Amino acid sequence: MKKIAAFVTSALICILVIGLFHLKFSGDLKMNNKEFGTWYNPFKDLASGVVAQNLHDDTMVVFGSSEFRHGRKTLYHPMNMFRNQNISLMTLGGPYNQTLNHATMLGAIAPKIKTKKVVLILSPSWFYKNGVSEDHFGLRFSESAYINFMENPNISKGTKRYVAARTLKLLSKSGSIEGRIARTNRINIDGSKNIFSETAYKIRKRYLRDKDILTVKGVLKTEKIKRLDKYNGHIENAKPLNWDKVLEEAKVNGKFKSNNRFYIKTKDWNLKFRHRFKVAKGIHKNETYLESPEYDDLKAFLRVCNAHGIKPLLVIQAVNGKWYDYTGLTRDKRKIFTTKINEIAAEYDAKVEDFSKYNYKKNFLVDASHPAAPGWVKIDEAIYNYYKENYRENTLFSRLFLSGFHNL
Query: What is the reported pLDDT for 175?
Result: 82
The full 3-state SS of the chain, as one line of letters, equals: CHHHHHHHHHHHHHHHHHHHHHHHHCCCCCCCCHHHHHCCCHHHHHCHHHHHHCCCCCEEEEECCHHHHHCCCCCCCHHHHCCCCCCEEEEECCCCCCHHHHHHHHHHHHHHCCCCEEEEEECHHHHCCCCCCHHHHHHCCCHHHHHHHHHCCCCCHHHHHHHHHHHHHHCCCCCHHHHHHHHHHHHHCCCCCCHHHHHHHHHHHHHHHHHHHHHHHHHHCCCCCCCCCCCCCCCCCCCCCCHHHHHHHHHHHCCCCCCCCCCCCHHHHHHHHHHHHHHHCCCCCCCCCCCCHHHHHHHHHHHHHHHCCCEEEEEECCCCHHHHHHHCCCHHHHHHHHHHHHHHHHHCCCEEEEHHHHCCCCCCECCCCCECHHHHHHHHHHHHHHHHHHHHHHHHHHHHHHHHHHCC
Residue range 158-207, pLDDT digits in tens: 999 999 999 999 999 888 899 999 999 999 999 988 999 999 999 999 99
338 vs 192, more confident = 338
236 occurs within a structural domain = no
Instruction: Report whether pLDDT(288) > 60.
Output: yes
Q: Could you give the number of structural domains in the chain? A: 1
237 occurs within a structural domain = no
Instruction: Report whether pLDDT(327) > 70.
Output: yes
Please give the model's pTM, rounded to 2 decimal places: 0.90
Domain encompassing residue 58 = 2-101+109-231+242-406
What's the CATH number where 204 sits? Answer: 3.40.50.1110
Residue range 214-246, pLDDT digits in tens: 999 999 999 999 999 999 988 888 999 999 999
